[in-house]
Amino acid sequence: MAELLLEIFSEEIPARMQKQAAADLARLIGDALKTNGIEAKSLETAAGPRRVVLSAAGLPTSQPDTTEERKGPQVGAPDQAVQGFLKAAGLKNLDEAEKREMPKGTFYFAVTKKPGRATADVLKDIVEAALAQFPWPKSMRWAENPTRWVRPLHGIVCVFNGAVVPVSFGGVTGTTTTRGHRFLAPAFISVKNFTDYKAKLKKAYVLVDATERSDIIARELTKLAAAEGLAVKDDPALLAEVTGLVEWPVPLLGTIDAAYMELPGEVLTSAMRKHQKYFSLQTKDGKLANRFGVVANMVTKDKGKAIIAGNEKVLRPRLSDAKFFWDQDKKKTLDARLPKLEERIFQAKLGTMRAKVDRMAALAMYLAKPVGADADAAKRAALLAKADLSAEMVGEFPDLQGIMGRYYALHQGEKADVANAIAEHYSPLGPNDSCPSAPLSIAVSLADKIDSLVGFFAINEKPTGSKDPYALRRAALGVIRIILENKLRLPLLAAFEYALGCYNGLVADGTRDKIGREVLEFFADRLKAHLRDKGVRHDLISAVFALGDEDDLVRLMARVEALAAFVTSDDGANLLVAYRRAANIVRIEEKKDGSSYKGDVPADHLGAPEATALLAALAKAEDAMTPLLVKEDYRGAMTVLAGLRQPVDTFFDKVKVNADDPAQRAARLKLLSRIEGAMNRVADFSKVES
Q: Report pLDDT digits (tens) over 614-627.
A: 999 999 999 999 99
Q: How confident is the model at residue 485 (pLDDT cuts 50, 70, 90)?
A: very high
* Position 275 pLDDT exceeds 90: no
Mean pLDDT in residue range 77-91: 89
Mean pLDDT check: name the lowest of 285-299, 338-352, 663-677: 663-677
Q: Is the peptide bond before 78 cis (omega within 30 degrees of 0)?
A: no
- Nearest by Cα to 162 from 188, 197, 204, 138: 197
pLDDT reported for residue 1: 81
- Kindly give, in sequence order, each residue whose CB lies less than 8 Å from that of residue 78, ignoring residues fewer than 6 positions away: none
Q: How far apart are the first and last CA of the chain?
A: 48
Torsion angle (degrees, nearest 10) of CA 384, 387, 393, 396: 130
* Position 549 pLDDT exceeds 80: no
- Domain boundaries defined on the chain: 2-62+118-203, 66-114, 210-320, 343-385+405-534, 565-687
Domain 2-62+118-203 matches domain 565-687 at the CATH topology level:
no
Mean pLDDT in residue range 103-124: 89
* Position 505 pLDDT exceeds 80: no
pLDDT reported for residue 459: 93
pTM above 0.85, yes or no: no
Helix, strand or coil for residue 261? Answer: coil
Q: How confident is the model at residue 684 (pLDDT cuts 50, 70, 90)?
A: confident
Mean pLDDT in residue range 300-315: 95
Q: Choose from 417-426, 567-576, 641-650 the range with maximum mean pLDDT.
A: 417-426
φ and ψ of 666, to 5 deg = -65, -40
pLDDT reported for residue 234: 94
Helix, strand or coil for residue 129? Answer: helix
- Nearest by Cα to 121 from 165, 71, 75, 169: 165
* Position 457 pLDDT exceeds 90: yes
pLDDT reported for residue 453: 97
Amino acid identity for residue 152 in this structure: P
Ranges of H-type helices in 506-633: 512-532, 538-545, 553-567, 570-593, 609-630
Q: How confident is the model at residue 548 (pLDDT cuts 50, 70, 90)?
A: confident
Distance in angstroms (rounded) separating the CA atoms of residues 283 and 402:
25
Mean pLDDT in residue range 257-267: 95
* Position 115 pLDDT exceeds 80: yes
* Position 509 pLDDT exceeds 80: no
What does the radius of gyration of the chain's CA atoms come to, in whole angstroms? 36
Ranges of H-type helices in 227-260: 236-243
Q: How confident is the model at residue 194 (pLDDT cuts 50, 70, 90)?
A: very high
pLDDT reported for residue 364: 97
pLDDT reported for residue 204: 97
pLDDT reported for residue 688: 87
pLDDT reported for residue 279: 97
pLDDT reported for residue 531: 83
Mean pLDDT in residue range 214-234: 96
pLDDT reported for residue 576: 87
Mean pLDDT in residue range 185-200: 96
Mean pLDDT in residue range 432-456: 96
Give 273's DSSP letter.
Answer: I
Q: How confident is the model at residue 242 (pLDDT cuts 50, 70, 90)?
A: very high
Task: Please give the residue that has the higher pLDDT: either 406 or 655.
Answer: 406
- Contact 279/334 with Cβ under 8 angstroms? no
Distance in angstroms (rounded) separating the CA atoms of residues 671 and 616:
11
Q: How confident is the model at residue 224 (pLDDT cuts 50, 70, 90)?
A: very high
pLDDT reported for residue 91: 87
Task: Please give the residue that has the higher pLDDT: either 77 or 213.
Answer: 213
Distance in angstroms (rounded) separating the CA atoms of residues 211 and 216:
9
Q: How confident is the model at residue 149 (pLDDT cuts 50, 70, 90)?
A: very high
Q: Choose from 40-54, 530-544, 546-560, 652-666 the range with maximum mean pLDDT.
A: 40-54
Task: Please give the residue that has the higher pLDDT: either 689 or 200.
Answer: 200
Mean pLDDT in residue range 126-137: 96
- Contact 42/228 with Cβ under 8 angstroms? no
* Position 539 pLDDT exceeds 90: no
pLDDT reported for residue 203: 97
Q: How confident is the model at residue 244 (pLDDT cuts 50, 70, 90)?
A: very high
Mean pLDDT in residue range 250-263: 96
565-687: which CATH number, 1.10.150.130, 3.40.50.12280, 1.10.3210.10, 1.10.730.10?
1.10.730.10
The neighbouring-strand residues paired with 351 are: 347
Helix and strand element counts for the chain (H, E): 25, 18
* Position 574 pLDDT exceeds 90: no
Q: How confident is the model at residue 448 (pLDDT cuts 50, 70, 90)?
A: very high
Amino acid identity for residue 377 in this structure: A
Distance in angstroms (rounded) separating the CA atoms of residues 475 and 84:
69
Percent above pLDDT 90 for the chain: 71
pLDDT reported for residue 218: 97
pLDDT reported for residue 235: 94
CATH topology for the 2-62+118-203 domain = Alpha-Beta Plaits (3.30.70)
Q: 188: alpha, beta or left, given left = phi > 0 and alpha = psi -120 to 50?
A: beta
Q: How confident is the model at residue 489 (pLDDT cuts 50, 70, 90)?
A: very high
Distance in angstroms (rounded) separating the CA atoms of residues 136 and 91:
48
pLDDT reported for residue 465: 81
* Position 511 pLDDT exceeds 90: no
Instruction: Convert the pLDDT of each residue in 358-377 to its tens digit.
Output: 999 999 999 999 999 999 99
* Position 409 pLDDT exceeds 90: yes
pLDDT reported for residue 371: 95
Computed over every residue of the chain, the mean pLDDT equals 92
Amino acid identity for residue 566 in this structure: F
